[in-house]
Amino acid sequence: MAVYTTLSAADLAALIGEYEVGQLVSAKGIAEGVSNSNWVVETTGPGGAGGRYILTMYEARVEAADLPFFLGLLDHLSARGSPVPRTVHDRAGAAYRTVRGKAVALIEFLPGVSVDEPTAAQAHAVGAALARLHLDAADFPGQRANAMALPHWHTLLAACGEDGLYSIDPGLPELVASELSYLSANWPRDLPRSVIHADLFPDNVLLLGDKVCGLIDFYFACTEVTAYDLAVTHSAWCFARGGTYRPGIGEALIAGYQSRRVLSEAERKALPVLARGAALRFVASRAYDWLHTPRGALVTRKDPMDFARRLSFYATDGDRAFSASAG
Amino acid sequence: MAVYTTLSAADLAALIGEYEVGQLVSAKGIAEGVSNSNWVVETTGPGGAGGRYILTMYEARVEAADLPFFLGLLDHLSARGSPVPRTVHDRAGAAYRTVRGKAVALIEFLPGVSVDEPTAAQAHAVGAALARLHLDAADFPGQRANAMALPHWHTLLAACGEDGLYSIDPGLPELVASELSYLSANWPRDLPRSVIHADLFPDNVLLLGDKVCGLIDFYFACTEVTAYDLAVTHSAWCFARGGTYRPGIGEALIAGYQSRRVLSEAERKALPVLARGAALRFVASRAYDWLHTPRGALVTRKDPMDFARRLSFYATDGDRAFSASAG
């Protein structure tokens, strides 16, 4: 959570002037987004009736070369009816502009709040929205390689070093080594692929009651095994704050998903290994960040052990958990 | 800038349910406020037409015992017509509630953006708004001692130690010692007193063009020498980013102030010493925070030398600067 860059009132007014959205009324930097700076911007609106937007400035972690994919995807999905914010294009038709050397995009503001302990009805709705996203993305022409796939887990974890992992938890080096080895040998091939969100944590879903109003923060979206996205979402949504698995939430998530897109037999069978991969992916990035985030940084480090415990759960109980839900 | 406390969607919805503002639609933590956590909250509104609010949670630096003064002052000033956000009272009529052991208030959302290099017209408008605030506060019954008055500068600077001040800048211990001695001997007595804002930095003023739409963040407000507030505002507004005094801005600020409230002869004469005090007050708090903010804190430390340079300016050129403007 951070606003990394200061934009002056003059910068903001000039920027807003490039869009058909009326005059700037208000702008508040918001404490969201790890890889970019965000503002809630209010304007007098294209027709004078008021408009609200999220202004995103892309910082180091997002490659400008990826922006046409990310922003084009938002426009594609929202045009199909997925609850995804559309981008506002400037008067020249561009989906992003450059301010002070950094790319910025003006994005539709969506209602809703993020939950941290979802109900089964909410998990069902999120599963359905994820399946819809996969279906709506089917004819999106963009492609993007997954920059956080299995080979990158190896790289990140190697950069942590055994000592680094040990400093986080004495059991972590062994868990990581055995899972990397298991996943390298058993990662599924030939499953259906599509564009996936790849990071659909509760933070990235805006809900009002049981209704999904927004899926946001597509900056890990990529072309990947479709069912891996469900596994990522499962790993992110289906555990209580203390770390215990919530079977009712897992079952609702998968039932919701299958209410829109039925998993193939091969996908169903692959869910346990995909979930181990998903959990290891977050262990890898969080352990790396834990060891490499400078003191004094504005970003709150996330404890890698949360996902190490989920990884252990999937390794020992994943088959049972998924056969109960996706059987 | 920070959100220190996490509120769950359930916490937020329950809290909003205590007010006559409709249902929760959205809540975004904002990167503003050093002493508290803030969210922009949207609701369906009391009449269903939508409502926007700032939800403030008071963290350690704000004393709960002071809240009736701060929040009562907002209601008093907004009722008088000053551009100050009113507080929304809950169904039981309370101006603040307690959530997870901390006081929270729901406050009117005001339009406008903060500028960092004001124009003369903006400085004039800010001066006029400050004078109006002083006049509107005249019949406010609350009283609050200034917790950042001259004795506290002594305390804070003593807590920095000579070595600490020297580590910030080798010239700082001598400047601080001579100014503390000068101000102790020359601090004006018998000037008119009133409720003052005491921290009217550009961050705390919302502007649209030349119009002041909001004066916010009253958490240093207190009963103090009225003209000291103008001196604080002068020290905060009238210097370019590089540190040089902007005479046109200083003159416009004071002319704007006097367009609403004419300074007495004694007040005019006291401005240079009041401005030295204002500058030393921010040197003291910033030097203290600089030396005592733990690494890894979410707050960006402010360089104490910005105000040390302004202090030196007022010490050598204050008489001239103010006689040009307030003559």
The per-residue pLDDT for range A50-86, each reduced to its tens digit, is 899 999 999 877 788 999 999 999 999 999 999 999 9
Instruction: Write out the two tokens for B208.
Output: 């649209």
**B201/B221 Cα distance (integer angstroms):** 13
Instruction: Note down pLDDT in tens along chain B; length 327 residues.
Output: 355 667 888 999 999 999 999 999 999 999 776 678 899 999 999 888 889 999 999 987 778 899 999 999 999 999 999 999 999 999 999 999 999 889 999 999 999 999 989 999 999 999 999 999 999 999 999 999 999 999 999 999 999 999 999 999 999 999 999 999 999 999 999 999 999 999 999 999 999 999 999 999 999 999 999 999 999 999 999 999 889 999 999 999 999 999 999 999 999 999 999 999 999 999 999 999 999 876 555 556 788 999 999 999 999 999 999 987 765
Return the number of other C-beta atoms located less than 10 Å from residue A64's C-beta: 11
**A321/A231 Cα distance (integer angstroms):** 12
- Contact at 8 Å (CB) between A112 and A208? yes
The distance of A184 to chain B (nearest Cα, Å) reads 37
CB contact under 8 A, B1 and A117: no
pLDDT of amino acid A33: 67
Q: Which CATH number fits domain A9-108: 3.30.200.20, 3.30.470.20, 3.40.50.970, 3.30.720.110?
A: 3.30.200.20
**Span between the terminal Cα atoms of chain A, in Å:** 39
CB contact under 8 A, A295 and B296: yes
CB contact under 8 A, A113 and B24: yes
CB contact under 8 A, A208 and B42: no
Q: Give chain A positions within 8 Å (CB) of B297.
A: 296
**A321/B199 Cα distance (integer angstroms):** 57
Helix A172-186 with A265-292: angle, nearest 10 deg: 140
Task: Pick the residue from chain B with its C-alpha nearest to A5.
Answer: B31
Q: What are phi and psi of B98, to 5 degrees?
A: -120, 130
CATH fold for domain A120-326: Aminoglycoside 3'-phosphotransferase; Chain: A, domain 2 (3.90.1200)
- What's the mean pLDDT in A181-202? 97
Q: Give chain B positions within 8 Å (CB) of A24.
A: 113, 208
Task: Pick the residue from chain A with its C-alpha nearest to B214.
Answer: A26
Q: Give chain B positions within 8 Å (CB) of A206.
A: 26
- CA distances for B29 relative to B144, B147, B243, angstroms: 29, 28, 32
**What pTM did the predictor assign?**
0.88
CB contact under 8 A, A27 and B296: no
- A24 at interface of B, judged by CB pairs closer than 8 A: yes
- CA distances for B207 relative to A93, B83, B101, B210, B255, angstroms: 30, 10, 34, 7, 18
* pLDDT, tens digit, 9 for 90 and up, residues A238-290: 999 889 999 999 999 999 999 999 999 999 999 999 999 999 999 999 999 99
Q: Give chain B positions within 8 Å (CB) of A12.
A: 113
* pLDDT, tens digit, 9 for 90 and up, residues A316-325: 999 999 997 7
Alpha carbon B47 to chain centroid, angstroms: 33
pLDDT of amino acid B252: 98
Q: What is the DSSP letter of B66?
A: G
pLDDT of amino acid B327: 56
Cα torsion B267, B269, B272, B275 to 10°: value is: 0
Indicate the length of chain A as a whole number.
Answer: 327
Cα torsion A234, A235, A236, A238 to 10°: value is: 60
Stretch 184-213 of chain A: residues touching chain B, C-beta under 8 Å: 206-208
- Reported as a pLDDT band with limits 50, 70 and 90, residue A126 is very high
* pLDDT, tens digit, 9 for 90 and up, residues A15-64: 999 999 999 999 999 977 667 889 999 999 988 888 999 999 998 777 88
**B188/B183 Cα distance (integer angstroms):** 9
pLDDT of amino acid B50: 86
pLDDT of amino acid A3: 59
The distance of B110 to chain A (nearest Cα, Å) reads 8
- B30 at interface of A, judged by CB pairs closer than 8 A: yes
CB contact under 8 A, B115 and A298: no
Task: Pick the residue from chain B with its C-alpha nearest to A42.
Answer: B111
Q: Give chain B positions within 8 Å (CB) of A29.
A: 1, 30-32
pLDDT of amino acid A138: 94
Would you list the domain boundaries of chain A? 9-108, 120-326
Partner residue facing B25 (CB), from A28, A111, A298: A111
Alpha carbon A47 to chain centroid, angstroms: 33
CB half-sphere exposure, A270, CA atoms < 13 A: 24
| Contact pairs from chain A to chain B, CB under 8 Å | 90
- B240 at interface of A, judged by CB pairs closer than 8 A: no
pLDDT of amino acid B325: 74
Q: Give chain A positions within 8 Å (CB) of B26.
A: 109, 111-113, 206
pLDDT of amino acid A1: 37
